[in-house]
Amino acid sequence: MSTSPPLALPLLDLSCFDAGPAERAAFLDELRRAARDTGFFYLTGHGIPGHQVRQVIDESRHFFALPKADKRAIDMVYSPHFRGYTAAGRELTRGKPDWREQLDLGAERPALNPPPEAPAWRRLQGPNQWPLALPLLRPMLIAWQDAVTRVAIRLLRAFAAALEQPEHIFDDAFAKAPIQHLKIIRYPGLDEPTSDEQGVGAHKDSGFLTLLLQDEQAGLEVETAHGWIGVPPLPGSFVVNIGESLELASNGYLRATVHRVTSPPAGRDRLSVAFFLGPRLDTTVPLLPLPAHLAAEAPGPATDPANPLFYEVGWNTLKGRLRSHPDVAERHYADLLKARA
């Protein structure tokens, strides 16, 4: 009788957070260790029904099957808010093109149209671009974004409890208008012209939490002290990882981990739906007052001279978008680039 290979990452059940005292305590201990040791884990018990998961995968495939002209009509270069379609090879990770096509979305909020003297990050808020050929995509993805936001906020409160903080300590930073960044992503197989093994290059996520839904095709890899490990799809689960802002908030106790995606083999593609939760653009990442026994184990956040981090959420977010999408930066932020030259 065949058995499935053991999972390389911890598997946590979020429903245990609201269970009895023993189950809750065990869950918080597992959560704290998973976030500290690897910064990645599988999450079940999230409460999102299977039919909604299948719908978001199916509708995402319908989007990527559209003619190129329909996708390019909502190209990200038309949006100062970094919303819309990006063709394979046009987003950069550490200066190298990623071989994936994607649709970037956020919360549906009106553009602020700030005056020239306002902080440039205020231009990030604004509406999404939607394909006219798929009218059902908009309500389906907005409903999905609402669902995963609820899961992420619930998980963030579990992290607060695991660090012996009040459960609602982050609520002010996420009130009214948190960063809700959704990407539906297709990684083409290696047989497509000019394709390359870098589906997305090695990087850390910048926000608080990432919740990733994978289809059946593997490709995600996480860097550990023992080298790179694969994170195969697990039906019914999200892959969760810590972002750099949550590492900052915990003074390095919680770990943002380097990860990447390799391109699928010839004749296959990979679909994933990534959700990134971050505080409001106008906030500063709070530094948690860890109790002494946890503070003693917090090494401070990692530093990278090539990618300095800011506690100011708006500037940190804008920095990352400008680096990843230079075509959008040149079209909509030329004044900022000129000032920094």
User: What pLDDT, in 10s, does the model give residues 110-120?
Assistant: 999 999 899 99
Q: Distance between CA 145 and CA 107 in Å, rounded?
A: 8
Q: Is residue 3 part of a domain?
A: no
Edge to edge, the sheet with strand 209-214 lists 11-13, 40-44, 238-242, 209-214, 270-278, 179-187, 101-105, 84-86
Quick: pLDDT tens for 300-338. Answer: 887 666 666 778 999 999 999 999 999 999 999 999 887
Contacts (Cβ under 8 Å, ≥6 apart) of 198: 93, 96, 97, 98, 99, 260, 262, 263
Contact by Cβ (8 Å): 215, 270 = yes
In this predicted structure, what is the pLDDT of residue 3? 41
Angle between helices 21-37 and 137-162 (to 10 degrees): 100
In this predicted structure, what is the pLDDT of residue 304? 66
pTM of the full predicted structure?
0.94
Average of per-residue pLDDT values in the chain = 92
Assigned token pair, 120: 């440039």
DSSP per-residue codes, 146-162? HHHHHHHHHHHHHHHHH
Tell me the pairing of strands 92-93 and 227-230: unpaired
Q: Is residue 6 part of a domain?
A: no
Buried b / exposed e over 152-175, threshold 16 CB at 10 Å, is bbebbbbbbbbbebeeebbeebbe
In this predicted structure, what is the pLDDT of residue 302? 79
Q: Is residue 88 part of a domain?
A: yes
Question: Which amino acid type is present at position 281?
Answer: L
- The radius of gyration computed from the CA coordinates of the chain, to the nearest angstrom, equals 20
What is the total count of domains within the chain?
Answer: 1
Contacts (Cβ under 8 Å, ≥6 apart) of 39: 222, 241, 242, 254, 255, 256, 257
Q: Domain span at residue 85?
A: 11-340
Q: Is residue 4 part of a domain?
A: no
Q: Is residue 245 part of a domain?
A: yes
Instruction: Return the SS3 of 140.
Output: helix
Assigned token pair, 88: 């394979």
Q: Is residue 1 part of a domain?
A: no
Q: How many CB atoms lie within 10 A of CB 294?
A: 18
| pLDDT < 70 stretches in the chain | 1-7, 192-196, 303-308, 341
User: CATH number of the domain that 33 lies in?
Assistant: 2.60.120.330
